[in-house]
Amino acid sequence: MHLTEQEKLKIIRVFKKLPIFFGLRENEYDFVRAACSHTSYLEGSTIFNKGDGSPCLYILLTGEVELRTEKEELIHKLHPGEIFGEIGLITQQKRTATAIAKTGVTLLIIKSEDLNLLLGKNPRISSIIMRNITQHLANHIVRMNKAASLEHIPPRQESNPVPSSPGSSQFPGSWDESDDF
């Protein structure tokens, strides 16, 4: 991917905020960036459909993406700094949902074969990224289990319900205008 030095630095700043890259050394971010491609989708565009074979990890830089079932039911809204497609990246299985650009979006894409080349060249990077993706997936399973168990609990009868805190699936770093592309 041909980028200006300023764009490269922005991408590395984004990587430093993403949990899947926590633990990388300063000089290792460039190796990861080189494994990525950069693309944009217009509002309403389909990024991938349920059933597609797409062994890629997506990093949402700008905009909003919705993951939907084949019946158009909303599964999850993604915001800048979130990743999706990690299951397909690891398992090579077909997509389990459809991803739609709710707004215009900018994405970084890491294809499985590019990640495998990177990981084969640098076992340390491989170990860190795979450990972090595993942790991300484990956290996702825990959140899904909690949500499923809460569906079976009758709602509380309170006159002043306490608002729920933001979900832990939200991007933990601070995102600002300078990170936009």
Dihedral sign, Cα of residue 140, residue 61, residue 10, residue 177: negative
Rounded CA gap, 61 and 83, in Å?
A: 9
Tell me if 39 sits within 8 A of 109, measured CB to CB. Answer: yes
- Asked if CATH classification 2.60.120.10 holds for the domain at 5-145, the reply, yes or no, is yes
Task: List the single range of 28-32, 47-51, 103-107, 137-141 with lowest mean pLDDT.
Answer: 137-141
Helix (H) or strand (E) holding 94: none
Average pLDDT over residues 14-43: 92
For 67, phi then psi, to 5°, come to -100, 125
Domain boundaries of the chain, sorted by first residue: 5-145
DSSP strand pairing (98-101 vs 46-48): antiparallel
HSE (side-chain half, CA atoms, 13 Å) at 81? 17
Residues in the chain: 181
Express each pLDDT in 61-118 by its tens digit: 999 999 998 888 898 999 998 999 888 777 788 888 999 999 999 999 999 888 888 8
Rounded CA gap, 13 and 179, in Å?
A: 8
